[in-house]
Chains A and B, each alone.
Chain A
Amino acid sequence: MTELAIRGLSKRFGDVAAVDGFELEIGDHELISLLGPSGCGKTTTLRCIAGFEEPTAGHILFDDRDVVGLPPENRNIGMVFQNYALFPHMTVRQNLAFGLEMRSVPKSEMAERIARVLETVQLGDLGERYPRQLSGGQQQRIALARAMVVEPSILLLDEPLANLDAKLREEMRFFVRSLQKRIGITTVYVTHDQAEAMVISDRIVVMFDGHIHQVGAPDEIYSRPVSREVANFIGLTNFVEGRVQGADAAAGECRLETAVGTLRCAYPETLDVGREVALIVRPEAISLSAAAPAESGTNAIPGRVGERYFLGNITGYRISCADDLLLQVQDDPWASFDVGDEVWCTFDAAHAWIIPD
């Protein structure tokens, strides 16, 4: 199969840099998501890989072969578009045959490969239908089948699930994921939906304003974000501003001086004393108790329950602490604190993380 390497990719539209200095190596069989808000350059990057946009600078290597300058039809890619882009004047079978005809695949082999791919996407009996006679989910799977039947070196997906309803979208995440693993094709997946990226990806590339902020596995992106933007974009986050009081890289711990007292955090690097940083802690890492914790090793912040909401699997609280600090907390659904209750928010140093600004 194919390894994909992107070196120093930049794309400018007039004065605007849509993508700037994009560096990434994507391994064989790997599924990489480009994740970010709209306008962050993820789609432009994908279109450069596909060949629909000419990069302003940089190289795109398919197995060490630079494809910049090659037209899309000579790159042997498979692409799935957000609106599926199935040819409306062709039946499902003709849609699937299109790429094979362009490659002059013999008729008998063509029929066999189409039958096989229809089987793979579990739509074996829909070959003679027209796209408009299919449901959204079926169209989506045919679009996937059409991209894969040509056995491309790279599979590119541009928000492929964005037009499906929520229930089907969640279903299709697993379908796409297992299909990609089974075929083992190198895949780049563009999405703005963080949950989708987390479920589907081996690694996630988080982008803002044309720049890569972080590349990592879903858990790494979630628990050890490198910037405020990443922390904010992926899930709910509490920020506590503070100043480094002491950092011990050997012990992997850092102490912060904050408006709500001294907080401890697991952090592997040494930071200068006095440096202004933000501590982040996820809502589910905080637990609530009525009494101050006996243990001295954990972080504890006193506060008052401002709001409470019930989501079924969790109960959420917004806790007002000193210095206008508002902590979002997600606790067991059966934990019962009422609005106005005085509570202690406690969390382990291991569940906190530091973003050096």
Chain B
Amino acid sequence: MTDPARVQSTGTARTASARPSRRRWNPTHFLVFPTVGLLVAFLVFPYLNMVVMSFRNPSTSQVFAPGFTVGNYLDAILDTDLYYLEILWDTMVLGAATTAICLALGFPVAYHLARTSSRFKSVLYAFVLSPLLVGVVVRCYGWIIILGNNDGLINTTLMDLGLIDSPMTLMYNTFGVSVGLVHIFLPFMILPLLGAIQSIDPALEEAAQSLGASRLRTMLRVVFPLSLPGVQAGTVLVFVLTISSYVIPILLGGFSVMIMPTLVVQQLMDAMLWPFGAALAFILSIAGALVVYVYFRLTSRAIRGIA
């Protein structure tokens, strides 16, 4: 009787000896080293340092005290007021809301851009990218001029016109932060959507119409389902960017819109509570990763068969 294990092992041994000899000496593979080196030195090491930091004992006089503990995590999660978990929840809600608004605003633009044959297509394209062409701080000051709670452009105009008696609160609240976030992250939604919609054969839309579907039903039943790979990519991008954004919430929300990145920086920089701040940062990362994972599992079912 032949021994299948031996047959198999000789088989693998042969391929193993035949193949890598060429691969090992391919010098182009060395070209990844600078990037890998940079990442390890300036990303992986600091991360590891933060992981270690999040388990250190807190101290009032130094950065940390000797010894290790899981207390930082427990303090954040088991806090009786649910203060930290509520901020985590608010962060996730802000992320979901920004993502939803970006999707709702971005889809029609992406569709139009994908289907138009206008000679202004490149101009439109530039408009879509325009939020990325101006620095984030400059852009936020622009929004402050427009949204300002007392002397902002919107409030003064509406009051001059006599449409409102007292100024509305447009800034230093979730509304102002959402406006800023949607503005900057819209391109990250539109570009993946644009790619996905461009790959849909326009004849499919005509087929749907010939079968009696209105423009709206064609969108809902044909275009949207077929653009789901782009929807998935765009929503994940915007969500992840939103829950980790710091500058926009600080400038347009101040400390009255408390979300996780603001809180983490507060703990690290202002309170100098490095171990606790590190623990909060990792709670945010893990929570964000979990949401994205579950989202991927749910949406991948719908996408199967398209991509």
Contact = CB atoms under 8 A, between A and B. Distances in A.
B48 interface: no
B203 A85 contact: yes
Interface in B213-258: 213-214, 217, 221-222, 225-226
A72 B226 contact: no
Contacts of B222: 87
Q: Is the interface of B mostly helix, strand, loop or mixed?
A: helix
B233 to A, nearest CB: 17
Interface in A123-148: 130, 146-147
A78 B201 CA distance: 19
Interface centre among A81, A82, A85, A156 (most CB of B within 10 A): A85
A85 B206 contact: yes
Given A81-B203, A89-B226, A98-B221, A71 B211 contact: no
B301 to A, nearest CB: 12
Contacts of A89: 225-226, 305-306
A266 B203 CA distance: 48
A144 to B, nearest CB: 12
Size class of the contact patch on chain B: 10 to 19
B207 interface: yes
Given A102-B217, A130-B305, A85 B204 contact: yes
A99 B211 contact: yes
B210 A79 contact: yes
Contacts of A147: 210-211
B208 interface: yes
A124 B204 CA distance: 24
A79 B209 CA distance: 10
Interface in A11-69: 50-52
A31 B222 CA distance: 31
Contact of A88 (B206, B208, B226): B226
A103 B212 CA distance: 7
Contacts of B208: 87, 98
Nearest to B228: A89
Contacts of B221: 98
Contact of A79 (B206, B217, B225): B206
A73 interface: yes
Interface string A92-134: 0000001100110000000000000000000000000010000
Contacts of A83: 201, 203
B201 A73 contact: no
Nearest to B303: A89
A77 interface: yes
Nearest to A149: B211
Q: Which of B201, B212, B225 has the most CB of A within 10 A?
A: B212
Contacts of B201: 83, 85
A150 interface: yes
B207 A79 contact: yes
Contacts of B204: 85, 87-88
B207 A81 contact: yes
A89 B211 CA distance: 16
Nearest to B225: A89
Nearest to B204: A85
Contacts of B206: 50, 52, 72, 79, 81, 85
A159 to B, nearest CB: 12
Contacts, number: 67
A81 B306 CA distance: 20
A51 B306 CA distance: 28
A278 B211 CA distance: 48
Given A81-B203, A85-B204, A87-B204, A73 B225 contact: no
B305 A73 contact: no
B207 A87 contact: yes
Contacts of A85: 201, 203-204, 206-207
A81 B204 CA distance: 9
Contacts of B212: 73-74, 76, 99, 102-103, 150
Contacts of B305: 88-89, 130
Given A85-B204, A130-B305, A50 B210 contact: yes
Given A85-B203, A87-B222, A89-B225, A78 B210 contact: yes
A153 to B, nearest CB: 12
Contacts of A99: 211-212
Contacts of A78: 210-211
A73 B209 contact: yes
Nearest to B206: A52
A82 B209 CA distance: 16
Nearest to A96: B211
A156 B217 CA distance: 22
A44 to B, nearest CB: 14
Interface string B78-108: 0000000000000000000000000000000
Q: Of A73, A81, A147, which is in contact with the most chain B CB atoms at under 10 Å from its CB?
A: A73
A77 B225 CA distance: 24
Contacts of B207: 79, 81, 85-87, 146
Nearest to A152: B210
Given A85-B203, A88-B305, A146-B207, 17 more contacts: A71-B209, A72-B209, A72-B210, A73-B212, A76-B212, A77-B210, A78-B210, A78-B211, A83-B201, A86-B207, A88-B204, A98-B208, A98-B211, A99-B211, A102-B213, A130-B305, A156-B210
12 contacts: A72-B210, A73-B213, A77-B210, A81-B206, A85-B206, A87-B208, A88-B306, A89-B225, A89-B305, A103-B212, A130-B305, A146-B207
Interface of A: 50-52, 71-74, 76-79, 81-83, 85-89, 98-99, 102-103, 130, 146-147, 150, 156
Interface of B: 201, 203-204, 206-214, 217, 221-222, 225-226, 305-306
4 A-B pairs closest in CB distance: A99-B211, A102-B212, A85-B207, A79-B210
